[in-house]
Copies of this chain bind each other. A is one copy, B any other.
Amino acid sequence: MTSTDLRPTPTRTPPVTLASRLAALRGSAIRDLLTLTARDDVLSLAGGLPAADLMPRERIAAAADRALRSPAAVQYSETAGLAHLREVVAAHESGRTGRPVAPGEVVVTSGSQQALDLLARALLDPGDPVAVEDPVYVGALQVLQAAGAAVHPLPLDAEGMRVDLLAERLAAGFRPRLVHTVSSFHNPRGVTMSQERRRALAGLAERYGFLVVEDDPYGLLSFDGAPPRPLAAHGEHVVRLGSASKVLAPSLRVGWLVAPPVLAAAVERLKQSTDLCGSSLTQMITAELLADEPWFAAHVAGVRRENRGRAAALTAAVDAEFGSAVTRSTPTGGMFCWLEFADGTDTAALLPHALEHGVGYVPGNAFAVDGGTGLRSAARLCFATYPPDLLTEAVRRLARASRRRDS
């Protein structure tokens, strides 16, 4: 079978249009970016990969072994997630939000990405207006665009989403069906929405009848050990997305959403037709680790501490190598540092040179909602993947690439 041989043999029927349909499916920005991480000679700050060396492999192996003593660990599971894991997640989210979350409000998904995709499929018709932060989490943009939504960008500043601008647009008649935010330690920008803005956004959602989707994979990874109080603590029109990927391991493929039961049930029905159910094995492992609160707290504290050290190494190297040639964010949690070149350097144009020098990053434009050029001098650097010495070396390479290109 040749790769494109989907054309029919000559007959009276019209030629099949599969080839043209497929060509129209747009490529994936994230995917194109992740290919940068694959080269052995490149230190990639591009991927949003948590550090595999900080993940609790031995504990996961022990939990897998324990789980597999039960036949339930190999069988199909409930579509909304194993009952026990839903209870554990409900307790965990009760602790986070400060209100009692019931297991019936929880749907376990294949990472929080699936939660977002199912939500969009449940709630959006083509043309429905939605709002996202700009720069945006690319995975959210893809989901919303795939659902045919009309995506409106909202700028960010040091306190997160410009909720004041949203309020102005709402007053002028803008009626989004949902508003997506990475409220804490934003991807890619690194900022955390202030509590005042969270309160304001939750209030607007109730007043104007839209849903806020609070995408919160990084909240627990606060360097000072105090996770920001969730948006969901401020109002009832907030669907929370959580994930085990950044605090335990991505390969568990355990994320979740917390939503009113009627919406949770709708998402569950959609999940049924998309993949029947998640893995009972990885869900049993996740339940054991999340439910062991002393262990989990100590584990997350360790990841936090290590990430803080990595962020410090990265920012120190940026300061030493670039000085006033760049401005940078000061990470307070999460996984990303945001750089802006003062001289207007086109970071997309710089990237091939950087790769030649053995370092990768994501150019700012990749996170632009409208694909415009407003972020052309910015770059996202992930500090979570490597230990400090490699981060220092990666920044040195970036500086070398930048200087070489200037000269």
Chain A positions near chain B (C-beta within 8 angstroms): 1-9, 11, 13-16, 18-19, 21-22, 25-28, 30-31, 47, 49, 52-53, 55, 57-58, 60-61, 64-65, 68-69, 71-77, 79, 99, 104-105, 109-111, 113-114, 117, 122-123, 139, 142-143, 146, 175, 206-211, 236-237, 245, 249-253, 260-263, 265-266, 268-270, 272-282
Contact = CB atoms under 8 A, between A and B. Distances in A.
Contact of A207 (B6, B9, B60, B260): B9
A65 to B, nearest CB: 5
Given A260-B6, A273-B143, A1 B251 contact: no
A276 B236 contact: no
Nearest to A261: B3
Given A3-B262, A25-B122, A57-B68, A273 B146 contact: yes
A260 B4 contact: yes
A113 B1 contact: no
Contacts of A146: 270, 273
Contacts of A28: 269, 272-273
- The copy count of this chain in the complex is 2
Nearest to A66: B61
9 contacts: A11-B208, A22-B265, A25-B269, A31-B269, A64-B65, A110-B110, A117-B273, A139-B273, A252-B279
A52 to B, nearest CB: 4
Nearest to A65: B61
Nearest to A114: B275
Nearest to A38: B78
A18 B117 CA distance: 17
Given A3-B260, A22-B266, A60-B68, 7 more contacts: A6-B237, A8-B237, A27-B269, A31-B268, A58-B68, A74-B250, A139-B276
Nearest to A37: B76
A75 B61 contact: no
Given A99-B1, A207-B8, A211-B18, A280 B251 contact: yes
Contact of A6 (B49, B113, B263): B263
A117 B175 contact: no
Contact of A79 (B31, B68, B69): B31
Nearest to A235: B1
B111 A13 contact: no
A253 B207 CA distance: 42
A55 B72 CA distance: 11
Contact of A60 (B74, B250, B269, B275): B74
Contacts of A26: 269
A4 B123 CA distance: 15
Contacts of A15: 209
Contacts of A18: 123, 209, 211, 263
Contact of A275 (B11, B31, B64, B117): B117
B60 A262 contact: no
Given A7-B209, A262-B4, A272-B142, A75 B250 contact: yes
- Listed residue (A11, A19, A274) with the most chain B CB atoms within 10 angstroms of its CB: A274
A49 B76 CA distance: 7
